[in-house]
Structure 1
Amino acid sequence: MSAMQTNLVKLISKITVYKNVVLKNPLLKTVLIIFLIATIGISTVGHYGISWDEPLYIKHVLWNYESIRKKQPLQTNPSNLKYYGVVLDVAAESLFQLKHGLSSHIQVNAERVFFKHLLTFLFSLFAYVSVAGIVGILCGSNYAWIGPLVLALLPRFWGHSFFNPKDIPFATLFALSTWLSAYIVSQYSKLHRVIKFGFNRICITTILFGILVGLLTSARIGGFVFLAFVPFTYILLKLEERQITRYTFKNIAIGWILIVIPWAIVTTVCHPASWSNPVRWFFENVKYNSQHAWGGTVLFDGQFIPGHQLPWFYLPRWITMTVPEMLQILFLLGLGLSLYKYSKFSVLQKSCFILVFLQVFSLPLYAILKGSTLYDGVRQFLFILPGIAAIAASSIGWLYQHLFNSKIIRLFFVALIFSLFLQVSSDMAKIHPYEYIYFNRLSGGLTGAVGRYETDYWGLSIREAMEWINKNSQAGTQVLVAGPVESARVFAKSDSPVIGILNPKGKIEIPNIPKPYYYLAVPKWELQEAFPECQDAYKVVKQGVPLTIVKLCN
């Protein structure tokens, strides 16, 4: 045997050894999948435009800083920013300034936006870790790696992971809280004595969990529901096992105190607007969010409907249209299998399933029954998607484990799942970097949504339109924007004045300026119908569907 052949045999042997090590190590498989997701995300983070709200959250840091420095109430426009936490925005801005130099002048520019997008995506990786943890509990650690893969194939979650500075952190922390609270409940369920205050494992973990719930609440006030989720799950398990003892309610009270105190401290610290009167601010915040008065209209089923008058099935329909069909089927199978297997679950598995069930169904059901004001499709409910991914991924593991004993059938099942994953990946690639406008094939896809449902409602495609204007316009040509004007300004040439013409009520106010100028409009509120006398110069198009359009007015 030649030296080359010998080396080739050694190389193949090493590859085989490494392959076996990876396949037999559940943690390593999961880490590799999350690393792959991170690599893809980091390599594409610079492709995304700016969402409508992002400039507000960048400026929010400065507004809070000025409020603290001057010891004055927070003055913002819109005024509801006083109800939003700043911890993640401050973290992003602090890291940016550590890299680029300290300054009290915070300007919305492309470099700052890129940095914020990168950190938002990196933070979202905790959601993938959490889903892997949940699947590991429900289905076994060998199948944990499927969880993050399924979550990455939820286009609405993936798309928002780069530019949504509020809903993605909330969804990530919600998933993390669901996963870790299962261990908290399981830990308490095994106690047969009263908890002793002190420097012990159960007290420390409970306090740390309270800090986590505080951070969740700082992302959105709705995070405080875990103050109820945890004791509810604990009591439910105790009732099921008929193990209600004299210690049960004492431990609930002690555990609740250990969670609430750090939760209250962290929530208050993360909301500077609350510092003057935290209790009053908290109840005002809950009232504001439960009775949110948004005066806009929503394109739903081909009609413009006020956000507070939408039919009860608005949210369910959006979920069925925007979650890939095969993941919906796997989710429903997973629910059925969970209920079938529930009696054989361990305490940890039972607590995990109950908490995931609450994550997916409780708040959406409350919003539907209450008739809450809704808009932007599933954006406000992105936090349910990690739970859907976890149940869907678990169903894959359970089906592979128990229902298919034949090796041939298992191979066929794996090939089927892989082909379905490949189909969703292909659909996502075709609309990149606008994955957040994904509609599944059964609903008619993106082409079927035109004129019936919102597509690029956050105006991400403004970036691509503005970059076209930069290449094709003469110096000094003005650009009128009906949409998020800051999104255009960030990417505009320095010699191209950008003028916002959309008033707070969503109506166009045409300025008296000389022609020529460009008109740039997002696909929302029929804004693209304005300036009919101007010719279409450019359209951002995905799958034959126009997003932002550019008109040249001579």
Structure 2
Amino acid sequence: MPAVISDAPARRTGPRRLHPADIAAVGVLVIVCAVALATFRDFGMGWDDYAHAEYGGLLLRLYDSGFTDRRALSFVNLYAYGGGFDMLAALLAKVLPFELFETRRLVGAIIGIAGLAMTWRIARRLGGPIAGFVAVTLLATCPLWIGHMFVNPKDVPFAVAMLAATLGFVRAFSEYPKPHVPTVALLGLGLGLSFGSRVMGALAAVPTAAAFLLIVVAEARRQGVRDAVRRAGEFLLRLMPAVIVSYALMALIWPWSVVSPLNPVKALVYFSHFFEKPWRELFEGELLWVVDMPRRYVPELFALQTPELFWALGIAGVVAALASAAHGDRPLNRRASLVFLAVSAVFPIAFAVITRPAMYNGIRHFVFVLPPAAVLGGLVGALLVSRAAATEGRRTAIAAAALAVMLVHPIVTMIRIHPYQYAYFNALAGGLQGADGRFMRDYWGLSMKQAAQALRAELAKRGELPTGKTKRHVAICGPQRPVRVELGKAYPTDWQPQGGEFAISLNEFYCAKLDAPVIAEVVRDGVVFARVYDIRGRNLETLLTPLPP
């Protein structure tokens, strides 16, 4: 009988030995940890960082004040999001020897690495050690994941929370219809963190329903409807404590959600419609309104912003998982888990293609799709390797060698474009140079930190640093907060160039290329991310590019 990815890994008899692929997977995690510790201070602030930091502080004050300081419950629109990440970072900033925004970068890295570990565990559980090794390697070398885990306070924490729920569901289906207490607790933790991060946690209902229905229908055919319904009822009843745990955890990290029983529904309605004034972004070389992006926006950017091996194995994994799940002679609980993962990877993208919501900031809102795709890719990778060698050691060596060869481009590119890994484009897009002028790159303005540092270094070289009596006024096209945090009060900033001595400008379509001397540039892979101008003596009316109405 041919091997399929629904086959369970072989059970060992006798003393347990550490599998070579497990050693390799742990090695990947150790390398990522070392890189994170060495580089987390390099990453800049984005447009929303300061607001999120304020939100975390307000949430702590809500609890410290005994719920008398309720500003967090109406703070801009962030009250409609959970604040678990922001609170955790604010708390750790009080005890760690780093300033607040460095702490936020470190916390983001820790959460992202936790997601890598869970990806490994899920793939290993379903496909064995080599599947786990391939899966964690795929995700650890995906620039979209690595770049966002340092800087994204919303989407990566949500993705990791969804991963915890995924691991809980995979365990629950494997123990059907009597999930164990640790599994129920894990599931409650994952669901609580998911809903407590973003109301989009409701998306987990679709893969859950698909997997659950597969089990119920299959058992009804084999054992009769009555027995299938009885077992399904027992399963759901045993999962009820997870609902209680998840609601309590959601209330803790998203207090607005329980101020009124219908607030989660209000948040869902709020986010189901575009809630801001529309703006334009660059896609395929055209300036398009974010509410008018074409249906191909998400799948095309996935194809261009993830390594080719990642999406190739991911797509193959989805197809193989669904094909394996269709085999009625395979273990039913494993088939359900495969359906859960396949739907988790495909449904959010398909839903965006069908409904065509407002789409912007690349595919950061879909980062949570990457881990299930990596797990499925790991299962396919393990299947391919199993056909290439007979011994475990040789299979691991072949997997490691193949991954090293095929992932060298994204790894080298991540090193070259550091700390802007989230702006990665693969060889199909022509790399960063091919994407320049065609797609958004530094849409969060992370390069403002390095641009501010470049300005200070240039002024130091010229002997023009501000003194106690003088200040250096800086005009900004991009987020101002990163420059203020990096340079301090001696460098007042403004949106307008009038009265400014220097200008820092993102190299995105909305910032004009100024008729002024360029004194510094932030460049990666031959592409300019930001420029620093000397605008003294220049009569500039605006830093913005005139746009058509």
Alignment of 1:70-219 (within 5 A): 71=68, 73-74=70-71, 79-99=76-96, 111-189=99-177, 191=178, 202-203=180-181, 205-219=183-197
Counterpart secondary structure, 1:528: coil
Distance in 2 separating the partners of 1:498 and 1:361 = 44
Q: Choose which of 302, 307, 318 in structure 2 pairs with 1:335.
A: 318
1:356 correspondence with 2:330: no
Contact 1:218 1:267 in 2 (8 A): yes
254-263 or 478-487, which deviates more: 254-263
Distance in 2 separating the partners of 1:423 and 1:553 = 39
73-82 or 360-369, which deviates more: 73-82
- Indicate how the Cα distance of structure 1 residues 228 and 393 shifts in structure 2: closer, same or farther if over 3 A, else same: closer
Q: Choose which of 447, 465, 468 in structure 1 pairs with 2:451.
A: 465
Distance in 2 separating the partners of 1:142 and 1:317 = 30
- Alpha-carbon shift at residue 39 of structure 1 (Å): 1.2
Cα offsets for 1:346-404 (capped at 9, x unmatched): 34432321221122112222222222111111100000111121122222211010256
1:233 correspondence with 2:211: yes
Query: Which residue does the alignment assign to 2:515?
Result: 533
- Indicate how the Cα distance of structure 1 residues 429 and 22 shifts in structure 2: closer, same or farther if over 3 A, else same: farther
Contact 1:207 1:262 in 2 (8 A): yes
Counterpart secondary structure, 2:95: helix
Q: Choose which of 261, 268, 272 in structure 2 pairs with 1:290.
A: 272
Query: Which residue does the alignment assign to 1:399?
Result: 384
Alignment of 1:353-502 (within 5 A): 353-402=338-387, 415-473=401-459, 474=464, 475=466, 476-499=471-494, 501=495
Counterpart secondary structure, 1:527: coil
The one-letter code matched in structure 2 to 1:320 is A
- Indicate how the Cα distance of structure 1 residues 409 and 150 shifts in structure 2: closer, same or farther if over 3 A, else same: closer
Contact 1:300 1:452 in 2 (8 A): yes
- Indicate how the Cα distance of structure 1 residues 493 and 259 shifts in structure 2: closer, same or farther if over 3 A, else same: closer
Distance in 1 separating the partners of 2:132 and 2:367 = 21
- Alpha-carbon shift at residue 95 of structure 1 (Å): 1.8
- Alpha-carbon shift at residue 411 of structure 1 (Å): 7.4
Contact 2:214 2:336 in 1 (8 A): no
Counterpart secondary structure, 2:77: helix
- Alpha-carbon shift at residue 82 of structure 1 (Å): 0.9
- Indicate how the Cα distance of structure 1 residues 22 and 430 shifts in structure 2: closer, same or farther if over 3 A, else same: farther
The one-letter code matched in structure 2 to 1:273 is W
Distance in 2 separating the partners of 1:439 and 1:445 = 5
Distance in 2 separating the partners of 1:79 and 1:394 = 43
- Alpha-carbon shift at residue 137 of structure 1 (Å): 2.5
Query: Which residue does the alignment assign to 1:35?
Result: 30
Distance in 2 separating the partners of 1:205 and 1:416 = 35
- Alpha-carbon shift at residue 27 of structure 1 (Å): 4.1
- Alpha-carbon shift at residue 59 of structure 1 (Å): 0.5
Contact 1:457 1:522 in 2 (8 A): no
- Alpha-carbon shift at residue 74 of structure 1 (Å): 3.5
- Alpha-carbon shift at residue 291 of structure 1 (Å): 1.3
Counterpart secondary structure, 1:480: strand
The one-letter code matched in structure 2 to 1:186 is S
Counterpart secondary structure, 2:532: strand
Query: Which residue does the alignment assign to 2:542?
Result: none
The one-letter code matched in structure 2 to 1:396 is G
- Indicate how the Cα distance of structure 1 residues 345 and 460 shifts in structure 2: closer, same or farther if over 3 A, else same: farther
Q: Normalising to structure 1: TM-score of the pair? A: 0.84
Counterpart secondary structure, 1:519: strand
Query: For this pair of structures, how many residues does the alignment match?
Result: 501
Contact 1:167 1:380 in 2 (8 A): yes
Q: Normalising to structure 2: TM-score of the pair? A: 0.84
Alignment of 1:9-28 (within 5 A): 24=19, 27-28=22-23
Cα offsets for 1:278-333 (capped at 9, x unmatched): x2211110111111323222211111111111111110110000111122222233
Give ranges in structure 2 of 5+ residues lacking alignment.
1-15, 537-549
Query: Which residue does the alignment assign to 1:5?
Result: none
Distance in 1 separating the partners of 2:149 and 2:211 = 30
Instruction: Determine what percentage of the aligned residue pairs are the same residue.
Output: 22
Distance in 2 separating the partners of 1:163 and 1:39 = 17
Cα offsets for 1:122-165 (capped at 9, x unmatched): 11112111111122133212442222111111111111111111
The one-letter code matched in structure 1 to 2:268 is V
482-491 or 341-350, which deviates more: 341-350
Counterpart secondary structure, 1:135: helix
The one-letter code matched in structure 1 to 2:286 is Q
Counterpart secondary structure, 1:321: helix
Contact 2:20 2:396 in 1 (8 A): no
1:220 correspondence with 2:198: yes
408-417 or 519-528, which deviates more: 408-417
Counterpart secondary structure, 1:85: coil
Contact 1:333 1:395 in 2 (8 A): yes
- Alpha-carbon shift at residue 497 of structure 1 (Å): 1.9
Contact 1:23 1:29 in 2 (8 A): no
- Indicate how the Cα distance of structure 1 residues 163 and 345 shifts in structure 2: closer, same or farther if over 3 A, else same: farther
- Alpha-carbon shift at residue 169 of structure 1 (Å): 0.6
Q: Choose which of 54, 63, 67 in structure 1 pairs with 2:58.
A: 63
Cα offsets for 1:48-69 (capped at 9, x unmatched): 1112211111100233345563
1:518 correspondence with 2:502: yes
Contact 2:28 2:140 in 1 (8 A): no
Contact 2:307 2:407 in 1 (8 A): no
Counterpart secondary structure, 1:144: helix
146-155 or 258-267, which deviates more: 258-267
Contact 1:22 1:29 in 2 (8 A): no
Contact 1:455 1:523 in 2 (8 A): no
Cα offsets for 1:247-269 (capped at 9, x unmatched): 13422542453332222222122
- Indicate how the Cα distance of structure 1 residues 415 and 158 shifts in structure 2: closer, same or farther if over 3 A, else same: same
Counterpart secondary structure, 2:437: coil
- Alpha-carbon shift at residue 76 of structure 1 (Å): 8.0
Counterpart secondary structure, 1:541: strand
Contact 2:503 2:532 in 1 (8 A): yes
